[in-house]
Every structure is written in structure tokens, then in C-alpha cells.
Amino acid sequence: MKKLLRSIFWLLLVALIIVIAILILNTVNYASKQAHYDQVDPIAIPEGAISRLSQVVQFPTVGHETSIDTAAFQNINQFMVENYPMVDSLMEPLQINEFSSIYKLRGRNVDLKPILLMGHLDVVPVDEMSMEKWTVPPFSGEIKDGYIWGRGTLDDKIACFGLLEAMELLLQKEFVPERTIYFAFGHDEEVGGKQGAVTIANKFRNENIEFEYIMDEGMLILEKPMTGLDQTTALIGIAEKGYTTLTLTVNLDGGHSSMPPTNTAIGLLSKAISKLESNPFPAKINGATAELFQHVGPEMTMLNKVVFSNLWLFKGILKNKLSETPSTNALIRTTTATTMIRGGVRENVLASQASAKINFRILPGETIETVKAYVKKTIDDDRILISENKENFSNNPSAVSNTDCFGYKVIQRSVKQVKSDVLVAPALMIAATDARHYQGLSDNIYRFLPTQIVKDDLSRIHGIDERISRESYEQIIQIYYQLILNSCK
Ligand SMILES: [Zn+2]
């Protein structure tokens, strides 16, 4: 017996030593994926750039499904014509559905695939309730404390006008690209993109254009974007989650509440919602999120480095840890959010119908169909009718774009040439962008708004006191300038 115990002890000790050796070996061999580029001298950004952004914020280009403020959209388009003379005379502009625009600058070499840089001109509304909480009126475009304030500064006028500023500067220097470059600015991104991005993408499809890469708004450059990562990191969205809403409905006989049956419509519906919430979709570290960890893992503090270089052992622990915070939970699974509920007409009448809307953000690799199947299996109750909500758009997750290709590398290089100490890493975009409509027009579609903003300013996007610092706006112009130069010379 003693001999057996001793053998087991030795066996376990050897196993432990082997595991520790593997952990150390993997950690030591965990090589950085960061490329090095020398920083370039900053270009002089004209003072007028700041006031031009301030002026375009003053056009209240609020996106609505039905009637929009056409004067605001006309004015912003007119502003582009009047304030970017080189762009207006040397690029070929084309209006799409009145208020969206395509700009094209023909390259010398027709054998090179063109590139497409995108933004959107519309903004989300400011609700009346929050109006008084704003430090300055939301469409004032006030320049104050080193910031340009107002709805649309971050989302997404800095993209459209940052691109125009960069191109205007390049054209003033007689820039002639080798590769053809397109800009596309939609005017209804915030309400689904039908008039803008969808129409523009179809036009490109009809012309059989294939882009070398496409870059739309998306992720940002953030300071310490996750626990264990102390460096400022540019997160480049290489994939986008899908989107669908399912309606759960229970129909039962109504009746008097003095003689209720065991199960009411509202009770059954609540149970179904509860089942969905307590059985989240399975966590997966794959695709864009796996790539994120491969790129930031080697740059992390030692303990985290051990974990990320040894996912064969720590994957389970990591998934649990990531599941604890909503922002990281969204990176590793399809999320379930009950957003609306309806049922009942009076306190003493049994509801004959109860319904709820559940919004799902779908992880790449899964589909609307797999989500429906999972929901049906989890609820496991035929009294709950499950239907897809067709009022709003639904779409499957995007494909995952490459990181080992010209597009990704040229974005990485442009960021590092402007700020050499920034890490660059691919990541999963958890919200929807216009880029989803461009699927198939390029293998390499990125969602990245190339500027650094502080975390506090993130919540201002679609929120109160949206603003951008003067430095951040100058930075985005600098990076777009490098990006156009690097992509097209
Ligand atoms: Zn946006």
C-alpha cells in the first residue's frame, strides 16, 4: 500500500513538473506580434479644421426612419463643397439618394484594387429629458476647455470631416495616388443605412468593384483597454456581431383574476425569460477575440501572460472571468437582452396575451437560425411562440477579416507612425456599423475610428455631453493622412 502511495506521489510530482515546464516554456516563447515603425513628423493641422468641425456639428443631421430635417442635410453637403475646394475639384463627387456621398480619386495604376474609407453624416437624436443635462446645447458645436462639444462629434462627423481634412492637405501638396481611393459617407447609418450604405454598396456591386480593404467607423484607440494590459491600444474591429430580435408570445384564455389557473400568460412568459437569462449562450474564445488575445497577450503583465499563453489549461478560468463583466462577456458569447415586455389590461383581469422582445447580438460563427434553435431548446415549452421581429433589421455576423494582409498592416503602420508606442490589436466590434452592408465587396473590412479618447468619453457616444478633444481630432486627421499616403503611393 505504502509503495503504491509512493508511486502515485512520484507520478503526480512528475506530472506537476511537466505542467510547470510547459507553462514556463509557452510563456517564454510567447512572442510579441507588434511591428515597429518610426514615428513621422506631425503634419501641421490648419486652425480652420477645428472651427470647421464645430460648424458641421451645428447642422442637426438627426437620422429618422421617416421625415428628416432635409435642410440640415442639404447644408452639410453644401458645406463640404464650399470648404474643401481641392477635394471638390480633384475628386469626383457623386450624390446618392440626395444626401449620401461618394468621392473618388482616380489612381495611376488601374491594376491595383481601390480602397474605401467610410463615415456617416447622420447623428442620433438628443431626447428632451436629457437636454438640460448637457453642459452646452447639443448642436452648438461650442469649442470650450480644449474640446469641440456636440452631438455627432465622436459619432461620426470626425470620420467624414477628418478624411476630408486629410485629403485636402494631401491634394494641396499635389498628391497623386497610385491606387484609386473612394470615400463613402452615408446619411442614415443610425436608422439602418438603407438609403445610404445599402444603396452605395449595391452600386459598387453592380460595377463589380472589389476593394483591397474597407475601413468604417468602429473601435478606437484606448488607454488600458482591459485588465492586465497597461498600454494604450488601437483596437481594429476585424468582425462585427450579428443582430436579431425575437418576440416571445403566450396566448391563453383570459378570465377573472379571482379564479386564476396555475399558469398565467404573464407567469409562463416570465419563466421563459428567466430560463434564457439563467442559460446564457456558450462562451467561446475564437475568431476575432482569439486574435485579440494573441496580439495583446504577449504585452501583458507576467501573470496574465502565463494565462494567455496557456489557454489549453486556463481557458475555462478565463471564460468565467470574462463573463463577469458585461463589456468582456459580449466578446465571448451571443448575448441575450430582454428589452420590451407587454401584457395585461387591468389589475383584476387575466391577460390573454403576454409578449416580450429579446435582442440578441450574435457571435461570429453562429447565425440567426442557430440562435432561434437555442432559444427554442432552452425554453422547451410549446406554449411560448417564438417569432423573428421583422420591424427592425436582422443580420448574421460578419465574416472575420484578415490580419496578415495589406489592409490591416497599412492601418497598423499608419497608427504607429503617428504614435509609435501604441499597441495595435484586432478585436470584435460588438455594435452594428454601416460596414455590415459591404460584406462581399472586400475580404478585408475593418471597423476602426483612428483616434484616442479617454474611457470617460466613451459613454458620451449616443449620450450626454458628446465631445472630442482638439488633440483627438488632430490625431484622427494625422492618421487618416498617413493611411491614405501609405495605401496609395
Ligand atoms: Zn456611428
Are 109 and 175 part of one and the same domain? yes
Residue 415 CB: number of other CB atoms within 10 A? 27
- C-alpha 302/C-alpha 307 separation (Å) is 9
Q: Determine the residue type at 158.
A: I
CATH number of residue 464's parent domain: 3.40.630.10
Length of the chain equals 489
Beta carbons within 8 Å of 370's beta carbon, 6+ residues apart: none
Are 437 and 330 part of one and the same domain? no
Are 229 and 253 part of one and the same domain? no
Residue 349 Cα to ligand 1 midpoint, Å, equals: 45
CATH number of residue 266's parent domain: 3.30.70.360
Q: Is the peptide bond before 456 cis (omega within 30 degrees of 0)?
A: no
Average pLDDT rounded to a whole number, residues 392-400 = 89
Are 226 and 258 part of one and the same domain? no
Whether the Cβ atoms of residue 449 and residue 220 lie closer than 8 Å to each other: yes
Are 384 and 411 part of one and the same domain? no
Are 377 and 286 part of one and the same domain? yes
Whether the Cβ atoms of residue 216 and residue 447 lie closer than 8 Å to each other: yes
The alpha carbon of residue 467 and the mean position of all alpha carbons in its chain are separated, in whole angstroms, by 19
DSSP H or E run through 94: strand 92-96
Are 354 and 417 part of one and the same domain? no
User: Which cell numbers in the block locate residue 197?
Assistant: 450604405
- C-alpha 481/C-alpha 323 separation (Å) is 39
In a domain, 24, yes or no: no
pLDDT score, position 391: 67
- C-alpha 256/C-alpha 92 separation (Å) is 69
pLDDT, tens digit (0-9, with 9 covering 90-100), for 430-480: 998 889 999 999 999 999 999 999 888 888 999 999 999 999 999 999 999
Are 230 and 96 part of one and the same domain? yes
Residue 32 Cα to ligand 1 midpoint, Å, equals: 32
Are 142 and 73 part of one and the same domain? yes
- Counting residues of the chain whose pLDDT is more than 70, the rounded percentage is 100
Q: Determine the residue type at 208.
A: N
Q: Examine the pLDDT at 268 and tell me if it is beyond 90.
A: yes
Domain end point (choices 388, 417, 443): 388
Are 202 and 65 part of one and the same domain? yes
Residue 335 Cα to ligand 1 midpoint, Å, equals: 21
Domain end point (choices 357, 388, 419): 388
Number of domains in the chain: 2
Q: Determine the residue type at 184.
A: A
**Range(s) of the domain holding residue 332:** 242-388
Residue 190 Cα to ligand 1 midpoint, Å, equals: 7
Residue 251 Cα to ligand 1 midpoint, Å, equals: 39
In a domain, 35, yes or no: no
Average pLDDT rounded to a whole number, residues 107-136 = 94
Q: Which long-range contacts (CB under 8 A, 24 or more apart) does 202-211 make?
A: 203/96, 203/102, 204/116, 204/438, 204/441, 205/440, 205/441, 209/114, 209/441, 210/113, 210/441, 210/442, 211/113, 211/114, 211/115, 211/116, 211/182, 211/441, 211/442, 211/444
pLDDT, tens digit (0-9, with 9 covering 90-100), for 180-199: 999 999 999 999 899 999 99
Q: Please, what is the average pLDDT of the chain?
A: 94
Residue 367 Cα to ligand 1 midpoint, Å, equals: 24
User: Which cell numbers in the block locate residue 402?
Assistant: 484578415
DSSP H or E run through 115: strand 115-120
In a domain, 30, yes or no: no
Q: Is 189 a catalytic residue?
A: yes
Catalytic residue among 155, 168, 188, 189: 189
User: Which cell numbers in the block locate residue 428?
Assistant: 470584435
Q: Examine the pLDDT at 92 and tell me if it is beyond 80.
A: yes
Residue 117 Cα to ligand 1 midpoint, Å, equals: 14
Residue 108 Cα to ligand 1 midpoint, Å, equals: 32
Catalytic residue among 122, 165, 217, 299: 122
Q: Examine the pLDDT at 390 and tell me if it is beyond 80.
A: no
Beta carbons within 8 Å of 375's beta carbon, 6+ residues apart: 246, 276, 358, 386
In a domain, 152, yes or no: yes
- C-alpha 420/C-alpha 221 separation (Å) is 13
Q: Where are the beta strands (DSSP E) in 169-240?
A: 181-186, 213-222, 233-240
Domain end point (choices 388, 410, 443): 388
Q: Examine the pLDDT at 43 and tell me if it is beyond 90.
A: yes
What dihedral angle (degrees, nearest 10) is formed by the CA atoms of 156, 160, 166, 169?
-130
In a domain, 34, yes or no: no
Whether the Cβ atoms of residue 475 and residue 451 lie closer than 8 Å to each other: yes
Q: Is 38 a catalytic residue?
A: no
Are 341 and 473 part of one and the same domain? no
pLDDT, tens digit (0-9, with 9 covering 90-100), for 411-433: 999 999 999 999 999 999 999 88
Beta carbons within 8 Å of 432's beta carbon, 6+ residues apart: 240, 241, 243, 395
pLDDT score, position 186: 97
Q: Examine the pLDDT at 201 and tell me if it is beyond 70.
A: yes
Are 250 and 224 part of one and the same domain? no
Residue 264 Cα to ligand 1 midpoint, Å, equals: 42
- Counting residues of the chain whose pLDDT is more than 90, the rounded percentage is 89
Q: Examine the pLDDT at 67 and tell me if it is beyond 90.
A: no
Average pLDDT rounded to a whole number, residues 376-385 = 97
Q: Given pLDDT bands bounded at 50, 70 and 90, which one contains residue 287?
A: very high
DSSP code for 196: I
What dihedral angle (degrees, nearest 10) is formed by the CA atoms of 152, 158, 159, 163?
140
Strand pairing report for 353-362 and 143-144: unpaired
Indicate the pTM of the whole model: 0.92
pLDDT score, position 365: 95
Residue 154 Cα to ligand 1 midpoint, Å, equals: 8
